[in-house]
């Protein structure tokens, strides 16, 4: 994990919210955290990453329940963090408030939209932080900043007091530098009692998904596989072609399947279709939430974000019902596929973080591949954790584990159990790449 002095441009505002009754017995006693600028704090305007939003909205009347829960568990909140405007980007660049500096790769984007929250953890400014994840806004910056990021099962953690983006996919997620803190925060937010430790019944490597990587797939997949073999035994490791399974078991995806495409560019048609369905429903729900405000205020929005916001505002209801059917079918199919205590392994993103201020048009293939991967948890509602795997050619790399809806505590336990063997395998892989 990489860090230097300064606040890395991570914070919008700094303040102290302390536990009302601090006690060494509290589970998060002594830990500090920051929150994305989508979480309400009583008496403060929740700015949503945009100055026009901030000037046209009143201060919050109450504090988000997730923030209160962390305070009650003994943690101290030290401020709100910079985010992409209206949460509509996975890059982490904000033309109004600046781009938080990636502590692992200063010439690269930090990832978004929970950019400042990830940077604050990666730069060791706080012990953990809160973000939101609709289309990837915790998982992507976690990967880019070389830290752990957890997207919980959909609707398991309260989103009350958090500005909505698209309710079918919105989740409150969190970042940490190690799996112990990640799990401690999870125990509080998930309201989960200590669950008995359960070994995974199978850990399934989605081999086609690893073909989407721009770096050698073995640098990612094999590090995880070797760690799993050491920890749980080689018999739990299975391999699959996820795209074929999705194509055969989610019939409603047919109307989103591309009829053509560039044969020289590798993609997974069924996952690309899944991504299309997700983003259509996301646009429709964003419009219902914020379309009237956008059309009335006509906010000043940054490049890329402006186009996406206006595309959403103009979207029609066409195919929205099919999107909801895709969601239902995919959830059932993936639940059956993983069974009890199964885990799916995929790359978090298709490669290392892009360089700052890259022309958006040059990132189209990267974004398409990224959303093919990110839509798996998004559409299924499953929980997902992004795990840092050290550095490859001086850039952070990661892998993701997914478990079925409601298996959040199980997944956090597995990640913690893998920690020591993963550190050994990462060290070996980093030495081999030099």
* pLDDT (tens digit per residue) in 192-217: 766 778 899 999 999 999 999 999 99
Instruction: Give the model's pLDDT for residue 368.
Output: 93
Q: Which residue among 89, 113, 276, 372 is the active-site one? A: 113
Instruction: Give the model's pLDDT for residue 151.
Output: 98
Provide mean pLDDT across the span 216-235: 96
Q: Which CATH class is domain 11-190?
A: alpha beta
Q: Which backbone phi and psi does 100 adopt, to 5 degrees?
A: -55, 140
- The answer on pLDDT for 262 being more than 60 is no
- What tens digit of pLDDT does each residue of 332-378 get? 999 999 998 999 999 999 999 999 988 877 888 899 999 999 999 99
Quickly state the pLDDT bin for 260 (edges 50, 70, 90): low
Question: How do beta strands 76-81 and 11-17 pair?
Answer: antiparallel
Provide mean pLDDT across the span 125-152: 98
Instruction: Give the model's pLDDT for residue 259.
Output: 73
- What tens digit of pLDDT does each residue of 12-44 get? 999 999 999 999 999 999 999 999 999 999 999
Quickly state the pLDDT bin for 434 (edges 50, 70, 90): low
- The answer on pLDDT for 4 being more than 60 is no
Which two tokens mark 102? 């990636």
Instruction: Give the model's pLDDT for residue 5.
Output: 46
Residues 6+ apart with CB under 8 A from 214: 350, 351, 352, 366
- The answer on pLDDT for 167 being more than 70 is yes
Q: Which residue among 89, 114, 117, 137 is the active-site one? A: 137
Place of tokens 């379309």: 291
- What residues pair up with 343 in beta bridges, in sequence order? 203
Terminal Cα distance for the chain, rounded:
18
How high does pLDDT run on average in the chain? 95
Q: What is the DSSP letter of 108?
A: B
Contact 133, 118 (CB under 8 A): no
Q: What is the DSSP letter of 157?
A: S
Which two tokens mark 424? 């050994």
Question: How do beta strands 32-36 and 128-133 pair?
Answer: parallel
Q: Which CATH class is domain 202-432?
A: alpha beta
Quickly state the pLDDT bin for 263 (edges 50, 70, 90): low
3-state secondary structure of 10: coil
pTM of the predicted protein model: 0.97
Identify whether 137 is a catalytic site residue. yes
Rg (alpha carbons) of the chain, rounded to whole number = 20
Across 218-247, b (16+ Cβ under 10 Å) vs e yields: ebbbebbbbbbbebbeeebbeebebbebbb
- What tens digit of pLDDT does each residue of 45-93 get? 999 999 999 999 999 999 999 999 999 999 999 999 999 999 999 999 9
Identify whether 113 is a catalytic site residue. yes
Provide mean pLDDT across the span 153-161: 98
- The answer on pLDDT for 2 being more than 60 is no
Provide mean pLDDT across the span 141-149: 98
Instruction: Give the model's pLDDT for residue 247.
Output: 97
**What distances in angstroms separate CA 351 from CA 109, 133, 211, 367, 375, one per listed residue?**
13, 19, 11, 10, 16
Q: Given its phi and psi angles, is residue 56 left (phi above 0), alpha (psi -120 to 50 degrees) or beta?
A: alpha
Instruction: Give the model's pLDDT for residue 51.
Output: 98
Residues of the chain with CATH 3.90.1300.10: 11-190, 202-432
Least-confidence region, from 84-98, 222-236, 256-270, 318-332: 256-270
Cα–Cα nearest to 418, from 174, 239, 202, 199: 199
Provide mean pLDDT across the span 153-172: 98
């Amino acid at each position: 994990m990489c860090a230097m002095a300064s606040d890395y441009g991570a914070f919008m505002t700094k303040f102290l919210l302390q536990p009302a009754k601090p006690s060494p017995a509290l589970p998060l006693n002594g830990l500090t955290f920051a929150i994305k600028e989508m979480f309400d704090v009583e008496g403060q305007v929740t700015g949503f990453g945009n100055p026009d939003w901030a000037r046209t909205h009143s201060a919050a009347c109450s504090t988000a329940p997730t923030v209160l829960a962390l305070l009650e568990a003994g943690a101290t909140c030290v401020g709100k963090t910079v985010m992409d405007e209206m949460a509509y980007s996975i890059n982490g660049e904000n033309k109004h408030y600046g781009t938080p500096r990636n502590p692992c790769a200063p010439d690269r984007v930090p990832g978004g939209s929970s950019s400042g929250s990830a940077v604050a953890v990666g730069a060791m400014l706080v012990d953990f932080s809160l973000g939101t994840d609709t289309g990837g806004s915790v998982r992507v910056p976690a990967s880019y900043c070389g830290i752990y990021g957890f997207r919980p099962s959909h609707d398991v953690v309260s989103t009350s007091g958090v500005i909505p983006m698209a309710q079918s996919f919105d989740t409150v997620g969190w970042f940490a530098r190690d799996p112990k803190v990640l799990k401690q925060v999870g125990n509080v937010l998930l309201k989960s009692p200590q669950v008995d430790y359960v070994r995974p019944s199978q850990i399934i490597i989605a081999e086609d998904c690893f073909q989407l990587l721009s770096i050698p797939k073995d640098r990612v997949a094999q590090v995880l596989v070797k760690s799993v073999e050491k920890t749980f035994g080689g018999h739990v490791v299975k391999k699959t072609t996820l795209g074929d399974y999705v194509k055969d078991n989610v019939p409603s995806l047919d109307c989103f399947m591309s009829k053509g495409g560039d044969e020289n560019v590798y993609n997974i048609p069924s996952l690309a279709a899944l991504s299309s369905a997700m983003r259509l429903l996301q646009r429709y729900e964003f419009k219902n939430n914020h379309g009237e405000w956008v059309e009335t205020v006509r906010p000043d929005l940054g490049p890329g974000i402006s186009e996406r916001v206006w595309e959403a505002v103009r979207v029609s209801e066409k195919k929205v019902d099919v999107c909801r059917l895709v969601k239902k079918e995919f959830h059932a199919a993936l639940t059956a596929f993983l069974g009890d205590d199964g885990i799916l392994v995929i790359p978090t993103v298709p490669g290392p973080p892009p360089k700052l201020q890259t022309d958006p048009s040059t990132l189209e293939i990267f974004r398409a591949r990224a959303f093919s991967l990110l839509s798996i948890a998004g559409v299924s509602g499953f929980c997902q954790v992004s795990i840092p795997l050290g550095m490859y050619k001086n850039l952070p790399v990661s892998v993701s584990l997914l478990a079925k809806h409601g298996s959040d505590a199980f997944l956090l336990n597995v990640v913690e159990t893998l920690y020591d063997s993963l550190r050994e395998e990462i060290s070996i892989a980093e030495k081999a790449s030099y």
